[in-house]
Structure 1
Amino acid sequence: MKNLDRMLLGLGVLIPFWLFFGVLLTALAYPDYSHLDQAMSQLGAQGSPTQGFSAWVNNLPLGVLFVLFAVGVLRRLRGSRLALFSAGLILVHGLASFATGYFPCDQGCAPVQPSFSQQMHNLAGLVMFLSLTLASLLWAFASKRLMGARGFGLFSLACTVLAVATVVLMAQAVETGHSFGLYQRINYGISVIWVAGLALMLSRSRAGALQPGTT
């Protein structure tokens, strides 16, 4: 069972690499695609050159990785309801990743009159952002109490602040029409790096290392 737990937690470390190479390789099949200005969702948008396989390379596998990683967190942190809640948020994030792949955005991903698929895609994207941001915020305040890991708490707080700040920059980029892709990648990159950090912390900690009296 320890090997299973180690494998499940190890998937959290794999997530940033899968995201990076999945988006990079998919974009190679999209002529003139701009990582600086275009959203990652445009790779799977209606009518895009990569619509047929983008979700299968990115959204769906990442959803599986997040769900399995969440199971690993649940198995490691059975003794704390707060920690279990954070694992539930990671699980929700994985399910929302499935939804963003199942409901592709409209061409360009910013239509004046969004279709039902676009609306669902936007909703799933919002859930993805809120779930991981809230999970990192929880660990920012609970890490020392739950695991005795003050450094990871500070790391989680920094990731939360940066994630919120880059969302503001993304909103500004929508208005200007420039650098949205850059800020989106920084935003999601911060979140998945936090996930990898959580995976490493839990993998290196002793199983059942929750501090006495945690809830």
Structure 2
Amino acid sequence: MTVRKLAFACAMLSLSVLVVATVAGGLTYPGYDHLTQYISELGATGAVTGRGVSMAFIASGVLLAAFWLLCAILFPRGPLSITGFGLSALNGLGLMFGGVFPCDFECSLENASTSAVLHDVLGGIGYLCGVVGLMLVGMAARRWPGGRNLFHLAIVCGAPAAGAIWLIHPAFEWYGAAQRVLEIALAVWTVAVALAVRRPMVSTA
């Protein structure tokens, strides 16, 4: 398997694992509502789906981080792209740590455990890194051969992602929906970059 095929496989497997865990977990978790509950509640301590979904978070996060690090090698390299891919890899690690440190049952903030605090902090940083990384890579793509489409897609995905990230908190009734908007925007971007990574590009400074 070539490095480009490996990168593509990492991205597709990462997203597949996360989607399956989210959909299957939601169907298994009694009364779960995707619009008003966090995805993390599926992997929370004490949840019926906790262990399985947490393991899925870890696997998906590791694969996602590996994908973005491989992208840093395979795409034209420059300050913007290297920084953007590095931040995107941190987004993958944020997902991984979301499984290593699950939130408390129903992601309750009352008397939060150390694991729950780390879950929120590292997961939140991961989301921020993912959004900023998307924007930086999109800006860098303007100089890549055939990269203009990625630049335009970065705007299309980055705008809703940047808006939704500030709504993922309990004060907003539909925080589950906001999280899905962010996740879908990042997923669409990941798929687009994964498809682009299969095409060799001439490196630029």
Structure-2-length-normalised TM-score: 0.89
Partner residue in 2 for 1:180 = 175
Partner residue in 1 for 2:15 = 16
Higher radius of gyration, 1 or 2: 1
Partner residue in 2 for 1:95 = 93
CA offset digits 1:45-89 (Å, max 9, x no partner): 121111222111x21111121122123213313643432222222
Q: What is the CA RMSD across the aligned residues, in angstroms?
A: 2.0
Which secondary structure does the structure 2 equivalent of 1:32 belong to? Answer: coil
Q: Which moved more, 1:41-50 or 1:138-147?
A: 138-147
Counterpart code for 2:149: G
How many equivalent residue pairs?
Answer: 205
Q: Which moved more, 1:133-142 or 1:69-78?
A: 69-78
Distance 1:147 1:124, change over 3 A: farther
2:26 and 2:178 map into 1 onto residues whose CA distance is: 17
1:195 and 1:186 map into 2 onto residues whose CA distance is: 14
Q: Are 2:47 and 1:48 equivalent residues in the alignment?
A: yes
Q: Are 2:203 and 1:210 equivalent residues in the alignment?
A: yes
Counterpart code for 1:201: A
1:132 and 1:147 map into 2 onto residues whose CA distance is: 24
Structure-1-length-normalised TM-score: 0.85
Checking the alignment, whether the CA contact within 8 Å between 2:14 and 2:59 is kept in structure 1 is no
Q: Are 2:67 and 1:69 equivalent residues in the alignment?
A: yes
Checking the alignment, whether the CA contact within 8 Å between 1:99 and 1:124 is kept in structure 2 is yes
How many Å apart are 1:191 and its aligned residue? Answer: 0.8
Counterpart code for 2:103: C
Partner residue in 2 for 1:168 = 166
Checking the alignment, whether the CA contact within 8 Å between 1:137 and 1:156 is kept in structure 2 is yes
Q: Which moved more, 1:38-47 or 1:64-73?
A: 64-73
Counterpart code for 2:85: A
Checking the alignment, whether the CA contact within 8 Å between 1:37 and 1:179 is kept in structure 2 is yes
How much identity, in percent, do the aligned residues show?
25
Structure 1 runs not aligned, ≥5 long: none
